[in-house]
Amino acid sequence: MCGVYMSHEQLTLDSSLTVTPDQFEALADLARVGSRDKNSASYRAAQLVYVEGLKESEAARAVAVSDTAVQKVCRKISHAMELINVYNTGEAPRMSA
């Protein structure tokens, strides 16, 4: 574990939320992003989304990977964020469309 601590305010979900590199690593661990995935271009693209604030499509182009591959990793990270939010707030997770 990275020893990353996030306050309740930091974890309230927001579509423009960015995290630190250490927080991203912790989220990836919680999302069970495997070591093989962590060496992939889609993982690097997800870092660009969550740490640098790029849109998924921009990040996909930046690392030359498909939008779908980036969406898959981002979905895992987003789910981990949802679970942390549930833990901190006691609110049920939002339903995906």
pLDDT in tens, 45-82: 999 999 999 999 999 999 999 999 999 999 989 888 88
The contacts of residue 86 (CB under 8 Å, 6+ apart) are: 92, 93
Q: Model-level pTM greater than 0.85?
A: no
In a domain, 95, yes or no: no
Q: What's the confidence (pLDDT) of residue 36? A: 66
Q: Is residue 79 exposed (0-12), middle (13-18) or buried (19+ Cβ within 10 Å)?
A: middle
Report which of residues 67 and 14 the model is more confident about: 67
Residue 76, domain extent: 17-88
Domain count, the chain: 1
Q: What's the confidence (pLDDT) of residue 91? A: 75
Find the angle CA(63)-CA(59)-CA(37) to the nearest 5 degrees.
Answer: 65
In a domain, 75, yes or no: yes
